[in-house]
């Protein structure tokens, strides 16, 4: 199956070791897979190692159950100089009924780095007409909103918004 370099799909069977006491898959397990998928998608597109800069709008829309197949659909939506926004949609499938549910969505900002972990340039994304262009434009807006929010925090505290906990 041919898939563009800026897209990636991964499917994982949810097993009992991933579940909490209620029989649902731990949110942390889902977050781990999301980070792995974002890494794989961004690093394949950039042709370099990447690091996670931020995670936005993680929406746990429905629980994921043990025994379901979970598919992570990832795409680089936008590129900056060294950063990339990776959007991920998560779909759970009941193997017996073959019913599918959209259970999670989020956006990762990944940064391409060299061997010394310094940011390096990434290829500019050329979105195709239609959904890719819409996602590109939405990513530009999210980037502007993140920058505006950071500026608002700086204006309140006089410091960059770096950590949500008190600093020593």
pLDDT digits (tens, 9 = 90+) for 83-118: 999 999 999 999 999 999 999 999 999 999 999 999
User: DSSP string spanning the chain?
Assistant: ----TTEEEEEEE--GGGB-TTSBBPHHHHHHHHHHHHHHHHHHHHTSEEEEEEEEEEEE-S--BTT-EEEEEEEEEEE-SSEEEEEEEEEEE-TTT--EEEEEEEEEEEEEE-TTS-B---PPP-PPTTHHHHHHHHHHHHHHHHHHHHHHHHHHHSS----SS---
Task: Give the mean model confidence (pLDDT) for residues 28-56.
Answer: 97
Query: What is the chain's mean pLDDT, rounded?
Result: 92
Instruction: Say whether domain 7-157 belongs to CATH 3.10.129.10.
Output: yes
Q: Which of 5-9, 47-51, 57-61, 103-107 has the lowest mean pLDDT?
A: 57-61
CA 165, chain centre distance (Å): 23
With a cut of 80, say whether residue 135 has pLDDT above it.
Answer: yes
Domain spans in the chain, listed from the N-terminal domain onward: 7-157
d(CA 70, CA 64): 8
- Per-residue pLDDT, 159: 67
C-beta of residue 38 within 8 angstroms of C-beta of residue 104 = no
């Amino acid at each position: 199956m041919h898939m563009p370099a800026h897209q990636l799909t991964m499917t994982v069977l949810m097993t009992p070791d991933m579940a909490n006491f209620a029989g649902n898959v731990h949110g942390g397990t889902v977050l781990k897979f999301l980070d792995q998928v974002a890494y794989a998608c961004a690093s394949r597109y950039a042709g370099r190692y990447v690091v996670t800069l931020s995670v936005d709008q993680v929406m746990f829309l429905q629980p994921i159950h043990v025994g379901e197949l979970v598919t992570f659909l990832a795409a680089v939506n936008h590129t900056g100089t060294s950063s990339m926004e990776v959007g991920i949609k998560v779909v759970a499938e009941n193997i017996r009924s073959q019913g599918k549910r959209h259970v999670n969505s989020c956006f990762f900002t990944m940064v391409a780095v060299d061997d010394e972990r310094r940011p390096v340039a990434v290829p500019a994304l050329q979105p195709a007409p239609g959904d890719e262009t819409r996602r590109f434009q939405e990513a530009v807006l999210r980037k502007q909103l993140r920058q505006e929010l950071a500026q608002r925090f700086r204006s309140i505290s006089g410091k960059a918004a770096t950590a949500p906990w008190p600093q020593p």
